[in-house]
């Protein structure tokens, strides 16, 4: 359960960046190849910010589908199971086109 | 990895969560009271960036000391510590080995590794690290102060037993290896692809038990190849010693690289 330490890390980054301004929504991109469970991350976020200056802020998670690109035939396709093989020509010469993202992209400053 | 959405009928698909306009995602979480955003701040910060920076600092220290580093991972009970004991018995005279031992609470594994000629530095993740189920770069850094790195050729980091979390955290290692036991079934590469994809070597341990199990080794190797076709496979039994020469050769070659480079 590394989502708790990851939530702390996100909170630290946002807190530094916001420099005391009130934070609302925090947006992150999460690739599906990451071994991180969005529901758990959201739950951990609420625990981590409770009683802090970030209390009430929410984590908005945009999941990025895993996509592969075949180096043999050039096909690009979405991965639906963890089989890293070209679904068109069967080659294992594939590269990950997307799905490993794990970024804070933006947050909202809120308040009157 | 492994978060492909599945329905109760077992079908899986991606939910088409294209990074579209943020409004599409406004139903996620509780946004009550936060429709009054005054300003949107773009930051584009890697979430594990701090860990990666510490891992890079570790890497610089390893390089300066001329020590090569292997991050050894597995699920609990796959036999990492037994394999390391057997490794030290064979290789501790040839290669100067240090070990960072990751354990949530106890010193049991560190104790099992003492007396074999290797310097062992224990990290209890329950002490100041929130009882984490993995080692991260900061925890490994805390262990380095108790090791004389320049006197070592090879540092093996025995991670906390866990097939999920350790794969997400670089610690500054040169190579990642995993121990997998034949009692764990054939399907784990598909269930925990992040771990199986992360490693250069998969040590398949406890092969002495194969006659007593219904473990289909070919199916397992096919699953492993689907997830990580480049993984080198070494079959071992830490109990009987089978395959340990091959494993020790791989390790000492890794360490030899440090002598040449250092």
pLDDT tens-place string over residues B116-166? 999 999 999 988 888 889 999 999 999 999 999 999 999 999 999 999 999
| More confident position, B259 or B188 | B188
Q: Does the pLDDT of residue B22 top 80, yes or no?
A: no
Long-range pairs of A72-81 with CB within 8 A, sequence gap ≥ 24: A78/B14, A79/A32, A79/A33, A79/B4, A79/B14, A80/B4, A80/B12, A80/B13, A80/B14, A81/B4, A81/B12, A81/B190
Tokens standing for residue B78: 């796959």
**Any domain includes B5:** no
A34 pLDDT more than 60: yes
B residues 197-236 closer than 8 Å to A (CB): 197, 225-229
Strands A102-110 and A76-78: unpaired
Q: What is the pLDDT of residue B173?
A: 98
Q: Are A4 and B130 in contact (CB < 8 Å)?
A: yes
Q: Tokens 């866990």 — which residue?
A: B162
B189 chain-A contacts, CB cut-off 8 A? 82
Residue B168 contacts A where some CB pair is shorter than 8 Å: yes
Restricting to A residues 50-109, those with a Cβ less than 8 Å away from any Cβ of B are 56-66, 78-85, 92, 102-109
Tell me the mean pLDDT in the region B233-250.
97
Query: What is the reported pLDDT for B38?
Result: 86
B233 in any annotated domain: yes
Reported confidence tier of residue B26, pLDDT bands at 50, 70, 90: very low
In a domain, B23, yes or no: no
- Cα B167 to Cα B157: distance, rounded to the nearest angstrom: 13
Could you tell me if residue B179 is inside a domain?
A: yes
B12 part of contact set with chain A, CB < 8 Å: yes
State the residue for tokens 């830490």.
B238
The tokens describing B123, both together, are 């990290």
The gap from C-alpha B247 to its chain's centroid, in whole angstroms, comes to 17
A54 CB neighbours in chain B (<8 A) are none
Contact with chain A for residue B27, Cβ under 8 A? no
pLDDT, residue B20, reads 38
Best residue of A22, A108, A109 to probe chain B, by most B CBs closer than 10 Å? A108
Rounded distance between C-alpha atoms, residue B123 and residue B103, angstroms: 6
Whether the predicted pLDDT of B261 surpasses 70: no
In a domain, B1, yes or no: no
Domain assignment of residue B97, given as a range: 49-261
The predicted model gives B170-179 an average pLDDT of 97
Q: Residue A13: its chain B contacts at CB < 8 A? A: 43, 45, 47, 49-50
Confidence (pLDDT) at B34: 53
Q: What is the mean pLDDT of residues B168-192?
A: 97
B103 contact A CB<8A: no
Please say if the pLDDT value at position B21 is more than 50.
no
Tell me the average pLDDT of chain B: 87
Give the SS3 label for residue A85: coil
Q: Are A111 and A37 in contact (CB under 8 A)?
A: no
Question: What is the domain-level CATH number for residue B57?
Answer: 3.40.50.300
Give pLDDT, residue A111: 83
Q: Which domains does chain A have, with CATH numbers?
A: 3-65+98-109 (3.30.2320.50)
Place of tokens 């939530």: A7
With contact defined as beta carbons under 8 Å apart, do B176 and B73 qualify? Answer: yes
Indicate which of A65, A66, A71, A109 best probes the interface with B, i.e. most B CBs within 10 Å of its own CB.
A65
B185 assigned to some structural domain: yes
Q: Is-contact B231 B201, C-beta < 8 A?
A: yes
What would the pLDDT profile of A37-93 be if each residue is shown by its tens digit?
Answer: 999 999 999 999 999 999 999 999 999 999 999 999 999 999 988 899 999 999 999
Query: What is the pLDDT, as a whole number, of residue B35?
Result: 60
Tokens of A77: 């396709």
Q: Where are the alpha helices (DSSP H) in chain B?
A: 49-65, 80-91, 108-113, 137-144, 188-191, 193-198, 217-227, 244-261
pLDDT bracket for residue B260 (50, 70, 90):
very low
Over residues B71-80, the mean pLDDT reads 97
Residue B137 in domain: yes
Q: Per-residue pLDDT for B170 more than 80?
A: yes
Predicted local confidence at residue B202, as pLDDT: 98
pLDDT band at B1 (very low <50, low <70, confident <90, very high): very low
* Minimum distance, in Å, between the CA of residue B64 and any CA atom of chain A: 29
What is the tally of structural domains in chain B?
A: 1
| H/E run at residue B42 | strand B37-46
The answer as to whether B159 is a domain residue is yes
CB atoms within 10 A of CB A46: 16
The whole-number average pLDDT for the span B177-188 is 98
ipTM (interface pTM) = 0.88
Q: Which of A63, A64, A70, A100 to mutate to test the interface with B (most CBs of B within 10 A)?
A: A63
Overall average pLDDT of the B86-100 stretch:
94
Give counts: helices (H), strands (E), chain A. 2, 6
Token digits of residue B202: 């998969």
Name the phi and psi angles at B39, rounded to 5. -155, 140
Average pLDDT over residues A92-108: 96
CB contact under 8 A, A25 and B50: no
């Amino acid at each position: 359960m590394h989502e708790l330490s990851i939530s702390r890390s996100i909170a630290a980054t946002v807190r530094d960046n916001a420099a005391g301004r009130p934070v609302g929504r925090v947006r992150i991109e999460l690739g599906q190849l990451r071994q991180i469970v969005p529901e758990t991350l959201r739950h951990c976020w609420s625990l981590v910010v409770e009683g802090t200056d970030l209390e009430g802020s929410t984590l908005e998670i945009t999941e990025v589908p895993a996509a592969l690109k075949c180096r043999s035939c050039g096909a690009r396709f979405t991965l639906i199971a963890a089989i890293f093989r070209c679904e068109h020509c069967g080659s294992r010469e594939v590269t990950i086109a997307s799905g490993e993202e794990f970024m804070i992209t933006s947050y909202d400053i809120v308040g009157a | 990895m492994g978060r492909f959405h599945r329905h109760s009928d077992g079908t899986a698909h991606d939910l088409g969560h294209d990074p579209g306009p943020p409004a599409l995602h406004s139903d996620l979480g509780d946004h009550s009271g936060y429709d009054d955003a005054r300003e949107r701040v773009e930051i584009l910060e890697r979430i594990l960036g701090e860990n990666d920076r510490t891992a890079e600092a570790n890497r610089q220290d390893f390089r300066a000391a001329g020590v090569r580093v292997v991050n050894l991972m597995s699920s609990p009970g796959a036999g990492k510590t037994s394999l390391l004991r057997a490794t030290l018995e064979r290789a501790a005279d040839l290669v100067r080995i240090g070990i960072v031992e990751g354990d949530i609470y106890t010193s049991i594994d560190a104790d099992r590794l003492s007396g074999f000629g290797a310097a062992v530095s224990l990290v209890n993740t329950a002490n100041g690290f929130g009882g984490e189920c993995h080692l991260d770069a900061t925890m490994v850094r805390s262990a380095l102060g108790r090791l004389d790195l320049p006197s070592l050729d090879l540092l093996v980091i025995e991670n906390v037993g866990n097939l999920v979390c350790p794969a997400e955290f670089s610690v500054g290692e040169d190579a990642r290896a995993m121990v997998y036991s034949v009692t764990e079934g054939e399907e784990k590469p598909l269930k925990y692809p992040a771990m199986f994809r992360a490693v250069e070597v998969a040590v398949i341990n406890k092969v002495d038990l194969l006659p007593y199990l219904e473990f289909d080794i070919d199916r397992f190797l096919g699953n492993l190849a689907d997830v990580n076709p480049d993984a080198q496979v070494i079959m071992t039994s830490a109990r009987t010693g089978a395959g340990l020469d091959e494993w020790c050769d791989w390790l000492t070659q890794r360490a030899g690289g440090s002598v040449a480079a250092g």
